[in-house]
Amino acid sequence: MAVLVLRPERAARRTVESLGAIGLDAIVSPVLAIEPLDGPIPQGAYDAVLATSANGLRKLKERPEIYELIRGPLMAVGDRTADAGREAGFTAIEVAEGDGRSLAAAVVARFRTPSRFLHAAGADRAFDLKAALEPHGHAVEVVELYRAAPASRLSPEAEDALRGGEATAVLHHSRRIAETFLSLAESAGLSDAVRAAPHAALALRVAEPLFAANCRTIAVAERPDEPALFDALTRLIGTGSQSGGERSK
């Protein structure tokens, strides 16, 4: 029995290590691959860099503009993104509570006068940070630095685990991951197996495609971070039914 980890490869390795620390085996089947984009960075001064993912900062680190940008503050969506910011060279970092709305609120609270920001973003965004900040008089330059390309299929190990009912649970770190997983599973003829498998999702928005697919057992993290996701996972494994942040169908 093993937990299916669907994140892009680099992030999946960290998750596998964390699962091992709590005694859980894992099968890695990335359903998305991170690919760089060469979106131009508009010239001029910025009051801060806004980051909604670690991937955006890793790609920003490779740009020559990084040497000027790290002189200013970084507003990071969560702890992992803040860590990537430190690796990129930022020293003044403020960390939000793990989602786009909390990041927007943190920016509004800190910058009381109209300001100009660079949003280090991916091509697919769950939250429109620019739209949230513009009514407060802020200007946001959105630079798409990467995209998450869907895989062509699940790994053979993941397919075998689902087909044989050997998946302890399936972890979903984003809505796009959940949607892509469901599509790949359907293509492999595994929709019934997916509905029967337990699932743990980072947030209710992430879980919505799983509910729509009539998955029977879905645990939803109480906060949008991996420790809370693991809490939901361990409750799911320990009880096999609804409890706390868990929701079952």
Cβ atoms 100, 129 nearer than 8 A: yes
Domain residue spans in the chain? 8-31+152-248, 34-149
What is the structure's pLDDT at 238?
81
Confidence of residue 242 (pLDDT cuts 50, 70, 90): very low
C-beta separation of 108 from 98 below 8 A: no
Contact between 220 and 246 (Cβ < 8 Å)? yes
Which candidate, 101, 155, 109, places its Cα nearest to that of 131? 101
Confidence band (pLDDT; 50, 70, 90) for 118?
very high
Query: What percent of the chain is predicted at pLDDT more than 90?
Result: 93
CA gap 68, 114 in Å, rounded? 21
DSSP string covering 50-62, please?
EES-HHHHHHHHT
pLDDT digits (tens, 9 = 90+) for 163-195: 999 999 999 999 999 999 999 999 999 999 999
Arithmetic mean of pLDDT over the chain: 94
Across the range 86-110, mean pLDDT stands at 97
Instruction: Assess if CATH 3.40.50.10090 describes domain 8-31+152-248.
Output: yes
Helix (H) or strand (E) holding 148: strand 139-150
Domain 34-149 class in CATH: alpha beta
Helix (H) or strand (E) holding 182: helix 175-187
Q: What confidence score (pLDDT) does residue 58 get?
A: 97
Question: Would you say the CATH fold of 34-149 matches that of 8-31+152-248?
Answer: yes
Sign for the pseudo-dihedral over CA of 52, 222, 205, 136:
negative
Residue 14 sits at the vertex; the CA angle it makes with 10 and 16, to the nearest 5 degrees, is: 110
Structure tokens belonging to residue 138: 């802020």
